Structure 1
Amino acid sequence: MKRTASLLLLMIVASSLFAQKKVLDITSFGAVGDSITYNTAAIQKAIDSASAAGGGQVLIPPGKFVTGVIQLRSGVELHVSANAVLLGSTKRSDYGTVRASALIVADKQHHISITGTGTIDGRGREVVQDVDRMLKEGTLQDPQWQTVNPWGQLRSAEFNRPHLLTFKNCDQVSIKGVLFKDAACWVQTYRECTNLVIDSIRVQSTAYYNNDGIDIDDCRNVKVTRCNVNADDDGICLKSGNPDTFCENIEISDCVVRSSASALKFGTASHGGFKQVRINNIKIYDTYRSAIALESVDGGILEDVTIENIRATNTGNAIFIRLGHRKTTAPVGKVRNIKIANVQVEVPAGKPDKGYEMEGPVVNYPHNVFPASITGLPGHPVENVSLENITVTYEGGGSKEVAFFALDSLHQVPEKAGDYPEFSMFGELPCWGLYVRHASGIQLRNVKMQYKKNDFRPAMIFDDVQQLQAEGLHIPTASSTPVIVLKDVKMPRLTGLQVPFGIPKAIMIWKQ
């Protein structure tokens, strides 16, 4: 009798689990995958039905299904099967009248997922063409349109171009396997979501400007693994738009990134901040700006960050760490407790993303190759940064005929506290390898800086730095002295220095 009751219980549980995984094929709701028929209503009906039934899988079968904005509901898995393509509408009017909605949205939903090996294609080029058409006709408003930006580019505002996906205030989110293709703006944004998993997705989105690959904004408990990102703007980007919360407890690992901006970036939005972030085993290539960019410029706290095992080739800058003060209504933030280890970067003299569809903006003044940098502000140092087992190989070739900054003019390097943060923001810098200013607790262990062609500048400059420790610093290719400049550096400790010249000759120490 007991055995019969147990068997009955198992059957009930199995039946319940089967019911939870009910599959709703969108073609059963009238969807047609002919790349012409609009299927927004059919797809939304399938999603609503699955959610109302307590959850289930909404299946996008093989075919090309055109859709406008769809809303994902709690308990629903949107499964984009192999050889299935979800095509975003190319009509700007299908995304709203004022601000453009994302193609797929969710707000305050839970236990939602997008899975499969199919494609979600925003058809960004065609959408932008329609945006421009409406702007010319006057049927769409955009104060930015036809205003040339500082890089000489002409483009419509971000709010007029739809993202592929925007999830807000959602819990238990899973995104796996799919290909996100050609957004007209940011590809995917997760804002104030919790328990988020992004695994094995592919991003191929170079259709237009502002094409961030993955944006994680003030989210908690996040894992991003085994993703391949090729994006016109930042590759994998953490943001903080809310001053009352953080990006917190984030893990990013085993990814490949190509970007016409920065590959791994914290910011630019940095109002609340970033805490407890671990990044491991990332391959980066053909990236215009920085391989690693950590920025707090809006009053946020950036702390407890570990980045390890990074291999970057053909990348415009190795490491950029910046504490600024763009948001003047807030106090200056904090950048502290950062460890970057086991990193190899190759920095060319030319433009790393040259030839890509949408290149990063050209720096419009003569300059030599830019060094890595760690910069705070007077009275607000970047604190406790450890660089360990780092090798950066520069193309070199620095020339006084291109640009020259005298060592007795270090005080003239501009602060630019409120400027947009990027590795070229200070203009020509007076060193080729590593520039550190307004910092405390800087530790360098087994750091190697080298170039392929001679550069007349010192390899490293430390300006207004307290508690500098360097052990096993290796600069094998320096061709002139000084190799290292210490200006207003308190309590320096350099051991195991390897340079082509004698130590006294290689180091310049002076005060303002």
Structure 2
Amino acid sequence: MRDVFDVKDYGAKGDGDTVDTIAIQKAIDDCFAAGGGYVVLAGGTYVCGTIFLKSNVYLQVNPSATLLANPDINDYPDGTHYNRYVNEKDMDKCFIYAEDATNIGVIGDGEINGNAESFPNEGSIYRPMMMRFLRCKHIRVKGLRLYNSTAWTTAFLDSENIWCEDLDIRNDRRYNGDGLDFDGCKNVFVSNCKILGTDDNLCLQASSKEYPMKNVHITGCHFTSICAGIRIGLKSVSDISNVTIHNCTFENVWREGIKIECTEGGSITDIVAQGLVMRNVTRPIFIILNNRLDVIGSSIGLEVMPEIGKMERITLSDVIATDDDEMLNTHYRFTDDIMGCPSFNGIRVDACESYPIRDLTLKNIIYTFVGGVKKEDIPAEYPKVWDMRYDHPEKVSENYYPTWSRTTFMDVRNVERLTLDGLKFHAMKEDTRDPYIIENCKIVKEDITVF
């Protein structure tokens, strides 16, 4: 029984100029028909458009090979499933696609290159996502260099039993430069990955009631992002639970290190993040519980404003976050999209007063902030989180507003059973704001040192 299919046996040239789409797809189809195996790319640069993976087939890109996205958009057919953001409904094209497949993988120590420079920028439908898996089971993406996607690098939708290991992801040429995105998935294992991008490096979301997001393990990864390192939520129609994050590093993240947002009526519960080291991260921890609609980030299919959901049982411990003089600067995404500055900093936890966060623990955190902000230079009134189903002020506290912090290090509001244990804060330069504020919280323990 044949289980290795070399694409060169199907006429693929791998010369960097010839389009090898037909040859690679024929090798995949024959591998599938034979019961499965490995489709191997070796010894060259293979130019192609959309590849459709099938059950029991592993696409193997050897160290000597590069799979390069064809710059001709006509080589990317429709029907590869758009993503679920209201404001990004046109992102349908895809480089590597699988639907309703089982036991599949994209592996090897070679490179997959999305050829981002050859495609239009933000707002165009002609930006193929690098990989999209819809309703698939038993997926492995391992060992590869995933570079220069024109949109997200990966999207795993309504899938289960996923392993992403030993990946070098570099997606810094275009907007929407996400790394690993999981929506409505269960049993996810991410380990030893290095991710650099222009948007969130790793996302866990639940945009459909039918598919909660649960049982996620993230360990030994490194994150660099113009936006967030790890984002849990925003799209949270359903529930997100049972998430562990351990032994990760974050460097030059211009918005949030760990960002947890329950905004669409579902719940986010049972989250543990431990053993994190951050260097130059504007907001090391950001947590918010609210509701929002008709703004950036809302899920397709969410037609009415939901009741505020639940956020419970979250622990972040053993975190070291350190700034250097780089954080005196204002940081942008490309030319004019401000991501962060010294006045937009710190640990922030917020919720609507009628829907408090419950059982939050922040333990053994050492935070060295660059400082240098004067209290008189920021607005005096800090808005509250409101239930958006009812009348509210024009300015409310939410996921992207306010764009300043009223404290130097930490601002926590509306938490029941809050534990603050062994928090140590230090400003490198004099900062005249309050060092921290704890407002309308039921405190289990408070041990904070400012030095």
Fold shared by both chains (TM-score > 0.5): yes
Q: Is 1:257 matched with 2:228?
A: no
Give 1:402 deviation, angstroms: 2.6
Question: Where is the strand percentage greater, Structure 1 or Structure 2?
Answer: 2
Inter-partner Cα distance in structure 2 for 1:123 and 1:455: 45
Deviates more, 1:210-219 or 1:429-438: 429-438
Correspondence 1:1-20 to 2 at 5 A: 19=1
Is the Cα–Cα contact under 8 Å of residues 119 and 150 in structure 2 kept in the other structure?
yes
Aligned residue in 2 for 1:176: 142
Aligned residue for 2:221, secondary structure, equals: strand
The one of 43, 61, 64 equivalent to 2:45 is 64
- 1:78 maps to a residue whose letter is L
TM-aligned CA distance change 1:376 to 1:420, over 3 Å: closer
Inter-partner Cα distance in structure 1 for 2:331 and 2:243: 33
Aligned residue in 2 for 1:44: 25
Is the Cα–Cα contact under 8 Å of residues 328 and 370 in structure 2 kept in the other structure?
no
TM-aligned CA distance change 1:333 to 1:360, over 3 Å: farther
Aligned residue in 2 for 1:5: none
Is the Cα–Cα contact under 8 Å of residues 367 and 424 in structure 2 kept in the other structure?
yes
Give 1:371 deviation, angstroms: 2.4
Is the Cα–Cα contact under 8 Å of residues 353 and 359 in structure 1 kept in the other structure?
no
Is the Cα–Cα contact under 8 Å of residues 315 and 352 in structure 1 kept in the other structure?
no
Is the Cα–Cα contact under 8 Å of residues 342 and 371 in structure 2 kept in the other structure?
no
Correspondence 1:66-145 to 2 at 5 A: 66-96=47-77, 100-128=92-120
Question: Where is the helix percentage greater, Structure 1 or Structure 2?
Answer: 1
Deviates more, 1:215-224 or 1:98-107: 98-107
What TM-score does the superposition give when structure 1 sets the normalisation length?
A: 0.78
Aligned residue in 2 for 1:458: 434
The one of 134, 156, 159 equivalent to 2:123 is 156
Aligned residue for 1:167, secondary structure, equals: strand
- 2:12 maps to a residue whose letter is A
Inter-partner Cα distance in structure 2 for 1:390 and 1:400: 24
| Larger Cα-atom Rg | 1
Q: Is 1:226 matched with 2:192?
A: yes
Q: Is 1:290 matched with 2:256?
A: yes
Q: Is 1:270 matched with 2:262?
A: no
Provide structure 1 residue ranges, at least 5 long, that are not aligned to the other structure.
Answer: 1-18, 130-154, 477-512
Is the Cα–Cα contact under 8 Å of residues 62 and 110 in structure 2 kept in the other structure?
yes
TM-aligned CA distance change 1:471 to 1:336, over 3 Å: same
Aligned residue in 2 for 1:388: 363
Inter-partner Cα distance in structure 1 for 2:171 and 2:339: 23
Inter-partner Cα distance in structure 2 for 1:265 and 1:325: 17
TM-aligned CA distance change 1:236 to 1:99, over 3 Å: closer
TM-aligned CA distance change 1:307 to 1:206, over 3 Å: same
TM-aligned CA distance change 1:211 to 1:391, over 3 Å: same
| Alignment length (residue pairs) | 423
Is the Cα–Cα contact under 8 Å of residues 188 and 214 in structure 1 kept in the other structure?
yes
The sequence identity of aligned pairs, in percent, is 26
- 1:385 maps to a residue whose letter is L
Q: Is 1:379 matched with 2:354?
A: yes
Aligned residue in 2 for 1:26: 7
Give 1:355 deviation, angstroms: 8.4
Inter-partner Cα distance in structure 2 for 1:61 and 1:214: 25
Is the Cα–Cα contact under 8 Å of residues 260 and 353 in structure 1 kept in the other structure?
no
Inter-partner Cα distance in structure 1 for 2:397 and 2:165: 31
Inter-partner Cα distance in structure 1 for 2:325 and 2:211: 40
Give 1:187 deviation, angstroms: 0.5
Is the Cα–Cα contact under 8 Å of residues 330 and 338 in structure 2 kept in the other structure?
no
Could you report, residue by residue, the CA deviation over 1:319-342 in whole angstroms, capped at 9, with x for unpaired residues? 000111014532211111001110
Give 1:454 deviation, angstroms: 1.2
Provide structure 2 residue ranges, at least 5 long, that are not aligned to the other structure.
Answer: 79-89, 294-303, 389-395
Could you report, residue by residue, the CA deviation over 1:212-269 in whole angstroms, capped at 9, with x for unpaired residues? 0110111101100011111111011111111232110000000111111000111221
Give 1:344 deviation, angstroms: 0.7
Is the Cα–Cα contact under 8 Å of residues 318 and 347 in structure 1 kept in the other structure?
no
Give 1:38 deviation, angstroms: 0.9
Aligned residue for 1:474, secondary structure, equals: strand
Inter-partner Cα distance in structure 2 for 1:247 and 1:474: 36
Aligned residue in 1 for 2:385: 415
Give 1:112 deviation, angstroms: 0.3
Q: Alignment RMSD, CA only?
A: 2.3
Aligned residue for 1:311, secondary structure, equals: strand
Is the Cα–Cα contact under 8 Å of residues 347 and 393 in structure 1 kept in the other structure?
yes
Is the Cα–Cα contact under 8 Å of residues 254 and 282 in structure 1 kept in the other structure?
yes
- 2:43 maps to a residue whose letter is P
Aligned residue in 2 for 1:446: 422
